[in-house]
Amino acid sequence: MTTIYLVRHAEAEGNLYRIAQGQHESALTDRGRRQVLALERRFADVPVDAVYSSDLYRTRATAAAVCGPKHLPLRLCPGLREICVGDWEGRTWGDIARRTPEAMADFGSRMDRWSIPGAETPAEVLARVRSAVEDIARANPGKTLALFSHGYAIRLLLADLQGISLRDTGTKSPTGDNTAVSLLEWDGTRLRAVWQNDSSHLRTPEYLAGETSVRRAYALEPGLWFRPLAGPDAAERLAAAWAAVGDPGPVPAASLTLEGLLDEEPAGLLHMAPETGRILLAYIRPDLRRRGLGIQLLGQAVQHARARGGEELSAAHPGGAPGEAYLRACGFAPRGEAEEGRTLWRKFIGFRPLAEEGR
């Protein structure tokens, strides 16, 4: 009997920032790196003979929890990749829900009829992932394996192993948490699920001690969509947001100002210099705060800075002002004084070497 631990990757940027990832590359979040450590603790006493992973960064980084401490090579398998979602990749779920609401609904609830140009169909993904898992099992008879894949791909496979059709997968087979573990067995001819989507390692005191107040969206909750701030009142609206956060004087110049909208309602502004990674303003309307929207502004800052080769974001903030808690919760750390009365906060946004993930 071949034993297979099937593991979803740790929390990645798209999960937190509400951006469709698919086969688009994204880094792990700060929470994701803590999940890697929790996974390492879970597998510390579990014998594993071989580790396989999708070739995308977020799964490779998560697999370091097992292959690193056990000194096993990481074997890459593109067949374990997430579904390719075509031109949805890299777009916010808010934008996707606004432009293609029916397809968005089908993606989560009616996999049997979801199809968009340039994307794989769920049926194609299921066939690809199941074939990859069975091929790996055949190559490792009698061994214990750890396989690292993605939420949608794993969901399709687990549903299929339970006899759930693509039509009913959306209602009868939920997506597991990031780093959720499922146990499969292969007897040489048949693959079966023993148990699924266990994330008990994320409920330990060691893990929970690092949790922050940043709210996470659930499932396919859309969130914001973004557009450049424009119109005859653009400067006035930017100045009003600048004044609302308590900054005196004129608004500093910057090359990018984005407006975030919830449905069609203006919700916030991001004002930054993407060429240097400097965030000058990240503003959410007071009545929409504490809903997980502010972190989506950060997601846009990451995307725009990284597209220009940047590996760091920075922000200057008055000491003790309310936004300090937001910066800490978003993974920024103080790095000296930027100017009189202001602390310089920095956040690394590059892709870390795999051996450093979770460290």
CATH of 2-208, picked from 3.40.50.1240, 3.40.190.290, 3.90.280.10, 3.90.1150.10, is 3.40.50.1240
What pLDDT was estimated at residue 306?
94
Sheet with strand 191-198: strands edge to edge: 74-76, 50-53, 144-149, 2-8, 181-186, 191-198
What pLDDT was estimated at residue 351?
87
Residue 288: how many CB atoms within 10 A of its CB?
Answer: 17
More confident of the two residues 261 and 327? 261
Banded model confidence at residue 338, pLDDT cuts 50, 70, 90: low
68-114: pLDDT as tens digits: 999 999 999 999 999 999 999 999 999 999 999 999 999 999 999 99
What pLDDT was estimated at residue 218?
63
| Spatial CA neighbour of 158 closest among 141, 138, 175, 177 | 175
CA 169 vs CA 106, 165, 357, 358: distances in Å: 11, 6, 33, 32
What pLDDT was estimated at residue 318?
74
242-272: pLDDT as tens digits: 988 877 778 999 999 999 999 999 999 999 9
| Distance in angstroms (rounded) separating the CA atoms of residues 298 and 300 | 5
Helix ranges (H only) for the chain are: 13-17, 30-43, 57-67, 93-99, 101-109, 122-139, 151-161, 166-172, 205-208, 234-244, 294-307, 323-329
CB of 80 within 8 A of CB of 52?
A: yes
| Spatial CA neighbour of 10 closest among 226, 246, 180, 258 | 180
Residue identified by tokens 């992932």 is: 129
CB of 27 within 8 A of CB of 9?
A: no
For the chain, the domains span: 2-208, 225-356
What pLDDT was estimated at residue 309?
94
Sheet with strand 312-318: strands edge to edge: 225-228, 256-262, 265-273, 278-284, 312-318, 342-348, 333-339
- Find residue 239's DSSP bridge partners: none
Q: Which of 4-13, 211-220, 294-303, 345-354 has the lowest mean pLDDT?
A: 211-220
What pLDDT was estimated at residue 54?
98
Please determine, for residue 32, whether its predicted confidence score (pLDDT) is greater than 90: yes
268-317: pLDDT as tens digits: 999 999 999 999 999 999 999 888 888 999 999 999 999 999 999 999 87
**225-356 domain in CATH 3.30.565.10?**
no
Residue 86 amino acid letter: G
Please determine, for residue 334, whether its predicted confidence score (pLDDT) is greater than 70: yes
User: Taking the CA of residue 58 as centre, how many other CA atoms within 13 Å lie in the half-sphere pointing to its CB?
Assistant: 30
Q: Which of 8-12, 58-62, 244-248, 274-278 has the lowest mean pLDDT?
A: 244-248
